[in-house]
């Protein structure tokens, strides 16, 4: 019954601003809006209005818009009261909505209602928060592609195939084996293998999603005085790291975020790699080695051959080409020469890691990645045995059903929508 109550919240960011929006959704949304604004325009129209509290006190003058169910963001009747921004006026109008019968919305409740009313699925709901949180244009484009249903269509098709296979195999278990067409079990096994292969294709996009949402870890590594801190400052365009000719100046890792070719990057400067009797520097070296081992890309400076275990992730960089040229990418942290080439090389490496080009489609989220992996694992190595095949199809259909939201629990919804702000 709580889902049928009328809810309200300020839908714009708090603080000083030109315009704020108070959003109201639910069966009494228009009645609440009329109580505050004194009128309601027709659905899909707007009206200039004076917003007043229950005592008739003028709170502000602004614009009222109404959207009739099911043609609204939530799929319910929705009213939006647009007023002046700031901290006082939107709150007073929201309080007037409460006095007229609305209650405060929970975090993400407007988007949750959109899901429950069939306006969007779970994948599209996730894309809303990802669009809000996007740090680069590429991340925003990816979220928009998901919001447009691109990932949903792929995953929905996988779910429907798994469901159909599960249904067919469950039915086959209930009939005499002699009534089944020849080669039925073999064909079912082939169909499950094909479904697994398509799950693998969807999973192949998942690495790009991780890089976009978490940011790629790019670590500057090498011996002391190789120019790591200078290069970090040059890439950031600011003096973030201390630069000194004294070896061992950088003892702890320094991390900053930046956009490289549309990829969100976590750039980390680390301690110079060398044996040291100083316990503090030694600990910094240990941390540097651990970061390099977990990096998506290691920018190796210093002219020496990088450790064998880092080779696959390494881009060799010579950062003092204004003095002398060296192996790998020649860059000058002092003059800026070669910085564009370095950024292009990093972006190209990330494109390769993601297994996609710059204009390719939406990527699965971490939740979707886990459920695709679960379905993929369930379909592994299924022999031409009816019972085992039916169990595999059922497990895959269950995982994919949770992925698209055909099956969900209150815990799943709470975990997802608690990431949203109150007004979304």
Q: Which pLDDT tens digit goes with each residue over 155-165?
A: 889 999 999 99
Task: Give the H/E segment covering residue 128.
Answer: helix 122-133
- 26, 19, 23, 24: which is closest to 2 by C-alpha? 26
pLDDT over threshold 80, residue 28: yes
Question: Which of the two residues, 200 and 310, has the higher pLDDT score?
Answer: 200
Q: Which of 403, 413, 349 is nearest to 376 (CA)?
A: 403
pLDDT of residue 248 exceeding 60, the answer is no
Give the integer Cα–Cα distance in Å for 282 and 235: 27
pLDDT at position 69 over 60: yes
Please give the pLDDT value at position 374.
Answer: 93
What pTM was estimated for this model as a whole?
0.70
Q: Tell me: pLDDT of 358 over 60.
A: no
Whole-number average pLDDT of the chain: 85
Return the SS3 of 367. helix
pLDDT category at 323 given cuts 50, 70, 90 is: confident
Asked if 217 contacts 268 with a C-beta cutoff of 8 angstroms, the reply is yes
Residue 332 has pLDDT above 60, yes or no: yes
List, in order of start, the domains of the chain with CATH numbers: 2-121 (3.30.1360.120), 124-205+363-404 (1.20.120.430), 212-354 (3.40.50.300)
Token pair recorded at residue 306? 């990088």
| Residue range 318-331: mean pLDDT, rounded | 85
Report the alpha-carbon distance of residue 157 to residue 111 in Å, rounded: 24
Cβ(223)–Cβ(302) under 8 Å? yes
Q: How confident is the model at residue 1 (pLDDT cuts 50, 70, 90)?
A: very low
Confidence of residue 139 (pLDDT cuts 50, 70, 90): confident
pLDDT of 50 reads: 96
For 20, 126, 245, the CA distances from 46, given in Å and listed in that order, are 16, 30, 66
Q: What length is written for the chain?
A: 424
pLDDT in tens, 258-281: 999 888 999 999 887 776 667 776
Tell whether the model's pLDDT for residue 408 goes beyond 90. Answer: no
Quick one: which of 410, 389, 392 has its CA closest to 400?
392
Q: Are 223 and 272 in contact (CB under 8 A)?
A: yes
End-to-end CA distance of the chain: 21
């Amino acid at each position: 019954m709580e889902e049928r109550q009328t809810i309200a919240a300020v839908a714009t960011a708090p603080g000083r601003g030109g315009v704020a929006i108070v959003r109201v959704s639910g069966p009494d949304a228009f009645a609440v809006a009329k109580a505050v604004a004194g009128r309601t325009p027709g659905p899909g129209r707007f009206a200039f209005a004076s917003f007043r509290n229950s005592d008739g006190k003028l709170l502000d003058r602004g614009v009222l818009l109404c959207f009739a169910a099911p043609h609204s963001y939530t799929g319910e009747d929705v009213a939006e009261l647009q007023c002046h921004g700031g901290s006082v006026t939107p709150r007073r109008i929201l309080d007037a909505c409460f006095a007229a019968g609305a209650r405060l919305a929970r975090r993400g409740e407007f988007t949750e209602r959109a899901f429950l009313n069939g306006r969007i699925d779970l994948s599209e709901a996730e894309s809303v928060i990802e669009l809000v949180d996007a740090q680069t244009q590429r991340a925003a484009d990816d979220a928009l592609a998901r919001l447009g249903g691109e990932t949903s269509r792929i995953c929905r098709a996988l779910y429907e195939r798994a469901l159909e296979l599960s249904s067919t195999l469950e039915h086959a278990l209930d009939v005499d084996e002699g009534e089944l067409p020849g080669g039925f079990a073999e064909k079912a096994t082939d169909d499950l293998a094909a479904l697994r292969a398509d799950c693998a294709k969807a999973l192949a996009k998942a690495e790009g999603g991780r890089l976009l949402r978490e940011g790629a870890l790019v670590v500057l590594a090498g011996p002391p005085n190789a120019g790591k801190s200078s290069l970090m400052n040059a890439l950031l365009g600011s003096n973030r790291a201390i630069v000194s000719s004294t070896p061992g100046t950088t003892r702890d890792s320094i991390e900053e975020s930046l956009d490289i070719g549309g990829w969100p990057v976590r750039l980390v400067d680390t301690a110079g790699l060398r044996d040291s009797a100083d316990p503090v520097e030694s600990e910094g070296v240990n941390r540097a080695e651990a970061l390099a081992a977990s990096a998506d890309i290691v920018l190796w400076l210093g002219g020496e051959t990088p450790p064998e275990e880092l080779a696959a992730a390494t881009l060799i960089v010579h950062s003092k080409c204004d003095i002398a040229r060296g192996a790998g990418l020649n860059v000058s942290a002092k003059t800026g020469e070669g910085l564009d080439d370095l950024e292009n090389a990093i972006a190209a490496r990330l494109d390769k890691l993601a297994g996609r080009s710059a204009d390719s489609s939406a990527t699965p989220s971490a939740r979707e990645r886990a459920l695709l992996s679960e379905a993929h694992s369930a379909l592994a190595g299924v022999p031409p045995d009816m019972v085992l095949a039916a169990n595999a199809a059922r497990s895959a259909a269950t995982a994919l059903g949770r992925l698209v939201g055909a099956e969900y629990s209150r815990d799943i919804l709470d975990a997802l929508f608690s990431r949203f702000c109150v007004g979304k």
